[in-house]
Amino acid sequence: MLKTIIFALSTGLFSAAPSSSPAGKGFEQLEGFDAIVVNQINEVLGMSRLPSGMGLPVEPGVYAVITSDRLTIFDKDVAAVEGGQRFAGADQPAPESGANCPQSVFDGFYLVWSRVVDEARVAALDIPTRVLLGADASLPAKLFVQTAYAAAETRPLSPPNLYMLVNGGRAGLRSRPFFLLPPKGLLLPSGQRPLGLRVTMKGADRFSVSAASPRFGRVVEATSASELLNILQDVKKRNPGKETLIIDASEGGTVGELLKVVMMAQEEFSRVVFALGQDVIIG
């Protein structure tokens, strides 16, 4: 287990130490940020447990890993996961976040960001702009999105850029960017003619497709990934200029299924936004 992580985000140079001895003995030198993250993932989860998919190279930032029993930010356990299904204390949502995540997860990220800000100030570095989230593919997607909201809402000044960590096979550890709907939803002017296309995950290969635009005018159900893809392709043909897809994880689905929808839809919708039931309202 990594006990100390010393990072210089402006240079990309990192060292990890399993020992806190005054003489500095026992330091393990690792070249590059991604090597540290892979080391950590293998320690607490295992690369094979990440969802499989393509992505971008991993760049430095704050990172967290969700396993079947805990959430770890860097090398620190900050929240327990009960039965691989929910965060401990999930019935105590953080009021500061609009109830998008449990208080324990919110507090964990708040503390980490505070320490990162202090270290950045001492080392004359910028506050990290990225958050990288890895999770066991079999976990509920809701846990992943709750963690993303906590990470985004506790960062000082402005939300970070968010990335899902994926197992790229021979390419190694990779990352996929995603966005979040605002914590209290989004109000858009009708003059922009937005679509607000949403896929709500209902469980294993069960989805509903809807849209904020009254022009869509219906809710379409899909009972397989191929059926969902056909629906999305049809929507794209009718709305060729629209690039954003909202994926709602509030009602079901796993982290692996969440990535599966992202990968499946990427040819049609290049911008992916995760949500936990927040609405897009066209005013």
Find the helix or strand (DSSP H, E) in which 45 lies: none
Residue 262 and residue 230 share a domain: yes
Instruction: For residue 22, tell me if it sits in a domain.
Output: no
- pLDDT tens track for 209-251: 999 998 888 899 999 999 999 999 999 999 999 999 999 999 9
Residue 166 and residue 202 share a domain: no
Can you give the residue range of the structural domain that contains 45? Answer: 32-179
**Mean pLDDT across the stretch 100-123?**
89
Instruction: For residue 5, tell me if it sits in a domain.
Output: no
DSSP letter for each residue of 114-166: HHHHHHHHHTT-PPP-EEEEEE-TTSBHHHHHHHHHHHHHHSSSSPPEEEEEE
pLDDT at 157: 86
More confident residue, 11 or 218: 218
- Range scoring the smallest mean pLDDT among 94-98, 141-145, 255-259: 94-98
For the chain, give me the number of helices (H) and strands (E)? 5, 16
- The whole-angstrom separation of Cα 134 and Cα 132 is 7
- pLDDT tens track for 183-215: 999 998 877 788 999 999 998 899 999 999 988
This prediction's pTM: 0.89
Asked whether the CA dihedral 119, 71, 132, 250 is positive or negative, the reply is negative
For residues 165-180, one letter each, b for 16 or more C-beta atoms within 10 angstroms of the residue's C-beta and e for the rest, the string is: bbbbeeeebbbbebbb
Give the Cβ contact number of residue 97 at 10 Å. Answer: 21
Contact between residue 205 and residue 224 where contact means Cβ atoms under 8 Å apart? yes
Per DSSP, what are the bridge partners of residue 66? 71, 135
Residue 185 structure tokens: 């939803």
- pLDDT tens track for 112-126: 999 888 887 887 778
Give SS3 for 257: helix
Residue 140 and residue 210 share a domain: no
- The whole-angstrom separation of Cα 229 and Cα 267 is 10
- pLDDT tens track for 31-57: 678 888 998 899 999 999 999 999 999
Instruction: For residue 80, tell me if it sits in a domain.
Output: yes
Domains in the chain: how many in total? Answer: 2
Instruction: For residue 207, tell me if it sits in a domain.
Output: yes
